[in-house]
Amino acid sequence: MKIILKIMKTNSIQRWSLICAVFLALQSTAWAHAFLDHAEPKVGSTVTNSPAEVKIWFTQELEPAFSSIEVQNAQGKEVDKKDVHVDAKDKSLLEVSLPQLPAGTYTVAWHVVSVDTHRTQGHFEFTVK
Amino acid sequence: MKSRKRKLAVLKNGRGRLAASSAVFAVVGLGAAAAHAHGFVGDRFFPPTIATDDPFATDELLFPSVSYFKSADSPPIGTTDIGFEFDKEIFPKFALGISGDWLNLAQAGQPSASGWDDFSLSAKYQLWENVPHEAIFSVGAEWDIGGSGSKEVGADPTSTFTPTIYFGKGFGDLPNALEYARPFALTGTLGEDLPTSAEPNNLEWGLALEYSLPYLQSQVKDIGLPAPFKDMIPLVEFSFTSPENRDGGETTGTINPGVLYEGEYFQIGAEAIVPVNNASGHDVGAIVQLQIYIDDIWPKVFGYPILGK
């Protein structure tokens, strides 16, 4: 480890570190891929009452025109109200309304595009008792 | 990895300044020979791995990668490797890359040696993907450019070409009864060294088994993991070199347990480097890597092929 410490003291490494710091500092002016941060109903959860909507919070703001949620029942039929939209106040929140759902397991499939045009997708299930 | 082995062999046989074994290279080459930026197959994000290359041909910048490891020699050679790798997608699913490593070799009773190892050029093409099954298969090759590095560290004066196949498989398609196994993913490589000199042919093979906590949280079950754990991917990598002829010796390699942390614009990874036998190394080494997601930092410049869409 003494070798590493010695190298870390060199001007070369200081320059590399500075470059890295510049890269990281640029984060404040950039965006990134949108990943699912959390959802309601929660991913993989079981709820006792039919939820009125599915809400998904992402790690980045979304492009509304290219972001969607589809909720399917166990037979693969879409059951949501097809009114998916990005929340007016929180551009990282995507939501879709649901009718009264009977007991069963439902799959939520989402496709989104973040504001820097990166595409991501995913799916999860929740169960209504 | 493969190139480093040959280069140190030169140092050992040609100059005798530091007694190096082939095992050193099997491990020291961990530096910049692996890792890529955002690699998706459907729902699955395959993170850039450290000791083994992943199957994606994408824009990436790995900088820096710092490792330290002691060879199997007596007394052992302590090698510090500081490396980089840059890859650019030229046309869809095809990328070219360059990587390099600055080495410092130190052995008791000997003056230390420092300098650049031979630089490497690489090409990779994503040949096949299966989205529902989170599977990918790629082909590629690496050219270790003989004579491009410093003689001080035994950089090989001759070139080696290594055609390689790559694969990745996520297990998100497992049934619900095995839901907690769905975050697992496996990637691997299999390459054949084709040296341009009378050095041994080697089979280069590696695996990376990872368990994605972000996948668990977002695709399987939200178990309420707090930061920073919800952004971590524990993994273990296996990296081996098997000489095939010309008295290349026994198989050497390492097992590397570690963890990756996924930031929004970067990944930081750290692994222990555990030699698998006496010929592979001395003591446990370590490696730390910073992967910069240039496609996120400069989305108008990176993340797209130069030609085609």
State the best of B45, B69, B212, B218 to mutate against chain A, taking most chain A CBs within 10 Å. B218
pLDDT at B247: 87
Query: Is B251 inside a domain boundary?
Result: yes
Cβ A7–B42 below 8 Å, yes or no?
Answer: no
Binned at pLDDT 50, 70 and 90, residue B301 comes out as: confident
Instruction: Provide the domain count of chain B.
Output: 1
Kindly list the residues from chain A whose CB atom is less than 8 angstroms away from the CB atom of residue B104: 3, 7
- Would you call A16 an interface residue with chain B, using a CB distance cutoff of 8 Å? yes
State yes or no: pLDDT of B40 exceeds 90.
yes
As a whole number, mean pLDDT of residues B269-284 equals 96
Beta-bridge mates of residue B163: B141
Kindly list the residues from chain B whose CB atom is less than 8 angstroms away from the CB atom of residue A27: 264-265, 297
CATH of the domain at B63: 2.40.160.40
Query: Is B307 inside a domain boundary?
Result: no
- CA of B230: which chain A residue's CA is closest? A37
Binned at pLDDT 50, 70 and 90, residue B127 comes out as: very high
Please give the share of chain B, as a percent, with pLDDT higher than 90.
Answer: 78
Which sign, positive or negative, has the C-alpha torsion A38, B215, B267, B92?
negative
- CA of A34: which chain B residue's CA is closest? B264
Residue B149, token pair as written in the block: 């590095």
Average pLDDT across chain B, whole number: 88
Kindly list the residues from chain B whose CB atom is less than 8 angstroms away from the CB atom of residue A125: 176
Rounded to 5, what percent of chain B is helix, strand, coil?
15, 50, 40
Half-sphere exposure of B274 (CA within 13 A, CB side): 10
Query: Is B309 inside a domain boundary?
Result: no
For B299, the closest of A37, A117, A120 (CB atoms) is A117
- How would you class B242 by CB atoms within 10 Å of its CB: exposed for 0-12, middle for 13-18, buried for 19 or more? middle
**Which residue in B153, B57, B143, B141 sits closest to B112, CA to CA?**
B153
Long-range contacts of B221-228 (CB under 8 A, 24+ apart): B221/A43, B221/A44, B221/A45, B221/B179, B221/B180, B222/A38, B222/A39, B222/A42, B222/A43, B222/A44, B222/A45, B228/B261
Query: Is B148 inside a domain boundary?
Result: yes
Query: Is B63 inside a domain boundary?
Result: yes
pLDDT at B264: 86
As a whole number, mean pLDDT of residues B23-52 equals 66
- How would you class B54 by CB atoms within 10 Å of its CB: exposed for 0-12, middle for 13-18, buried for 19 or more? buried
Cβ B295–A118 below 8 Å, yes or no?
Answer: yes
Residue B212, token pair as written in the block: 């994605």
3-state secondary structure of B184: strand
Helical residues (DSSP H) of chain A, grouped into ranges: 2-8, 11-25
State yes or no: pLDDT of B240 exceeds 70.
yes
Query: Is B252 inside a domain boundary?
Result: yes
The CA dihedral of B167, B100, B304, A70, to the nearest 10 degrees, is 40
- Would you call B68 an interface residue with chain A, using a CB distance cutoff of 8 Å? yes
In terms of residue numbers, what domain contains B176? 2-297
Query: Is B308 inside a domain boundary?
Result: no
Cβ A44–B222 below 8 Å, yes or no?
Answer: yes
Higher pLDDT, B36 or B292: B292
Residue A74 per-residue DSSP state: T
pLDDT at B14: 33
State yes or no: pLDDT of B27 exceeds 70.
no
From chain A residues 50-109, the ones with a CB under 8 A of any chain B CB are: 59-60
CB atoms within 10 A of CB A5: 8
Average pLDDT across chain A, whole number: 85
Cβ A123–B43 below 8 Å, yes or no?
Answer: yes
Cβ B264–A32 below 8 Å, yes or no?
Answer: yes
Summarised one tens digit per residue, pLDDT across range A20-65 is 555 555 444 445 789 999 999 999 999 999 999 999 999 999 999 9
DSSP element (H, E) containing B87: strand B77-91
Query: Is B151 inside a domain boundary?
Result: yes
